[in-house]
Amino acid sequence: MEIILDVTDLHIEFHDHDQPEVAVEDFDLMLGRGEIVGIVGESGSGKSMSALAIAGLLNRKSLTKSGRIMFNGTDLLTCDRNILRSYQGDEISIIFQEPMTSLNPVKRIGWQVEESLFIHHPEISKAVRKEMAIKTLYSVGLSDAEKVYRMYPHELSGGMRQRVMIAAAMIGNPKILIADEPTTALDVTVQAQIVELLKKLNRERKTSIIFISHDLSLVSQLCERVIVMQKGNIVESGKTKKVFKRPGNIYTKRLIAAIPKIELR
């Protein structure tokens, strides 16, 4: 398998208080082309912090990072800011938990889906950008894409907004999609639809996906491999089926035991 992302010894520390606070310690991840890897753990485990570092979105002055994040032969932790920006939103895209905090309320959907093309591919004409945006909106399951293109975020349902966010992330056909708790704010039916959509995009485009969630049942449906984090550390990793069936770590066992069981009467 071709390795497209190699994260080694990632260490993240905050310096907001008198004593440094370690958020992530010795995080390792090798991601293959077309692979889906899940990162699970409770709030504060460091899973989202690790993903933000990979996406190049940790730039606070009160924070230090060390280790290596290798992509395309470039260390994203130490490379020039302009090189990092050339990858963000084009080669590496990210979608977040709540689209209403990511979408601009005063801009139409079409503009927001096209934005990364405008930034990274200014040579593409306005007409072609619109055509690509509508095609991408269709590809994420928005059947009336031309109408959605002209709408504002508040006019869409939560599930539709999340599909718009996925369309905006995928329009440049990135090599890596980071999905940070993308289904938490959605009901169970829409959650399942978003998981199926991510599977479809992975299958059709060979996009590698890092799926971050505290929902182990969704991770088991989507991810080939899983990384379990606790207090900034990886406590267990491996093939999802093996880890879930025969967990070796006490914390992993507790997480699996907490998965709701449905009893039919």
Domain ranges of the chain: 1-79+208-259
CATH pick for 1-79+208-259 out of 3.30.70.270, 3.40.50.300, 3.40.50.2000, 3.10.20.30: 3.40.50.300
User: Which pLDDT does position 202 carry in this prediction?
Assistant: 94
Angstrom distance (rounded) from CA 88 to CA 54: 10
Q: Which residue has the higher pLDDT, 78 or 186?
A: 78
User: Which pLDDT does position 107 carry in this prediction?
Assistant: 95
Angstrom distance (rounded) from CA 65 to CA 69: 11
DSSP category for residue 156: S
For the chain, state the CA radius of gyration.
19
Q: Can you tell me the mean pLDDT for 211-238?
A: 93
* Per-residue pLDDT tens over the stretch 112-163: 999 999 999 999 999 999 999 999 999 999 999 999 999 999 999 988 999 9
Q: pLDDT-derived band of residue 196, with 50, 70 and 90 as boundaries? A: very high
Angstrom distance (rounded) from CA 85 to CA 58: 13
User: Which pLDDT does position 259 carry in this prediction?
Assistant: 76
User: Which pLDDT does position 261 carry in this prediction?
Assistant: 64
User: Which pLDDT does position 264 carry in this prediction?
Assistant: 43
- What's the token pair of residue 232? 């900034």
Q: pLDDT-derived band of residue 69, with 50, 70 and 90 as boundaries? A: very high
How many CA atoms within 13 Å lie on the side-chain side of 120? 22
Q: Which residue has the higher pLDDT, 235 or 43?
A: 235
Q: Which residue has the higher pLDDT, 59 or 135?
A: 135
Angstrom distance (rounded) from CA 68 to CA 91: 18
Q: Chain-centre distance of CA 202, in angstroms?
A: 13
Asked whether the beta carbons of 175 and 51 are under 8 A apart, the reply is no
Phi and psi angles of residue 52, each rounded to the nearest 5 degrees, phi first: -65, -35
Task: Judge whether residue 263 has pLDDT over 70.
Answer: no
CB atoms closer than 10 angstroms to residue 204: 9
